[in-house]
Amino acid sequence: MGNSQDENDIHPNLTDNLENIKKTLGNSSDIVIRDFHSGNNGNIHLGIIYTEGLVNKTFVQDFILETLMVEIRETNLNPTMTNSANLFDIIKSHSLPIGEIKEFSDFQTLFFHVLSGDTIILIDGFQKGLALSTKGWTDRGVQEPTSQTVVRGPKDGFSETLRTNTALIRRRIKDPNLWLETKQIGEKTHTDVAIMYLKGVVNEKTVTEVRNRLDRIKIDAILESGYIEEFVQDEVYTPFPTVFNTERPDTVAAAILEGRIAILVDGTPFVLLVPALLVHFFQSSEDYYQRADIGTLIRLLRYLSFFLALLTPSAYIAVTTFHQEMLPTPLLISLAAQREGVPFPAIVEAVMMEFTFEILREAGVRMPRAVGSAISIVGALVIGQAAVEAGIVTATMVIVVSLTAISSFVSPSFNMGIAVRILRFGFMILAATFGLFGIILGLIVMVLHLNSLRSFGIPYLAPSAPFILKDQKDNITRFPLWALFARPRLISQKDTEREKTPSPKPSN
């Protein structure tokens, strides 16, 4: 036990330390190791280690190498001083114009810092080293989000760099109570994962639960926030998402101000928000940038589109198969004439067309951006028209599938859109088996399932079930901003009142 500890400790001999680093890292070509002598008589033997591509080379050259190789030589340090035990503290406290300096004494910490973009300084004769913050890799920068676009609102989006993402949130919430906690997850990747919340507004029990769930994660690698989402979600066996993800800083800032918690993962532009309730997946940041009446209309359209995408094919199958008496006679005659040459029942038609469209949609996403949308549109038009002319499906079924597809794109959350796509096939089978009774049965089971879900202890259907009257102002409809003076009751149980602003009155 003692030997393994000794092997992990920094050795007094600098040459041995550098050889150990080269051996452990396999003489990797991107690891730069430089040893040199400094001081008045060249009696200070130092080593510099950093990873090329992860550091700002200009910063290393101007503020570390030049300081240690030139400026120390010109300061005429006392020879006894350079040979004393205080040399380490002199270099640490008086010689390096670096903002963040950390001291370490073991190789495990050394490798973590050097592979994280820091520069390491080792001094011959000392069993400890210095890690200097010199991170400077090339990132994508702040660009417009591609997954959640808005007509009116900020155009900046998160990038793959954690510090850039936290800065975008800090820009919007200039409050000392905005706290940030960072930890490393992943035995091999040591990925930085941060949680941000507003102290005094957030529910402390929820913060503790988020910490506990993150601490329980034991895995080799965290490459994207989707890894974290699967580990921290409440319910595994459900098509409905219980963790919200977004690449919009304004959405995250608004959620934090409500009392929710943001989970940021280094290496991805998608930030997680918890708790995530059903209502959150139908809200967009643009709802609050438009007037209240416009925001309410758009939100109602989203709810209508949700049910259209979920139930349109199944309703068509149920009515045409079991409940023809519900149709007006002219429409029934028209549908019967269309189906005269079609050899398949309505359920087979619907499944074929839905699968075809799902394939086209996935092909459009995976193909190069320049031709992806064109392939989707042309493929849908050509296949639909050809299928009708060949007598495989009816023209009405093509209209039904098209309406369903368009409605599924209205959802501002991609995750909720996928849930609808999965459930749609289940409702189609129920409609083909039991008709409208099967659809009603499916809706009852779905609502019961939604009532059983929790997101970090909060009912998934809140504020509808349980019904919270004052939270209805920002549920299916959106009241004017001056009326939204209370934060959601179940999410934020402290400082629940926002600043009250009197309603505007027309001037005489």
Lowest mean pLDDT among 140-149, 168-177, 467-476: 140-149
pLDDT digits (tens, 9 = 90+) for 282-318: 999 889 999 999 999 999 999 999 999 999 999 999 9
Q: How many CB atoms lie within 10 A of CB 129?
A: 24
The string of DSSP letters for 236-305 reads: SS-SS-SSEEES-HHHHHHHHHHT-EEEEETT-SPEEEES--GGGGG--GGGGTS-HHHHHHHHHHHHHH
Domain extent listing, the chain: 2-132, 162-276, 294-459
**What is the pLDDT at residue 80?**
47
Torsion of CA 420, 424, 425, 427, to 10 degrees: 130
pLDDT digits (tens, 9 = 90+) for 396-413: 888 898 899 889 888 888
- Give 210's pLDDT tier (boundaries 50, 70, 90): very high
pLDDT beyond 60 at 5 = no
pLDDT digits (tens, 9 = 90+) for 26-45: 999 999 999 888 877 777 88
Q: What values do phi and psi take at 35, rounded to 5?
A: -115, 145
**What is the pLDDT at residue 91?**
82
As a whole number of Å, the end-to-end CA separation of the chain is 85
Q: Per-residue b/e over 287-311, b at no fewer than 16 CB within 10 Å?
A: bbebebeebbebbeebeebbebbbb
Mean pLDDT of the chain: 87
Percent of residues in the chain assigned helix, strand, coil, to nearest 5: 50, 15, 35
CB under 8 Å to 174, separation ≥6 — which residues?
A: none
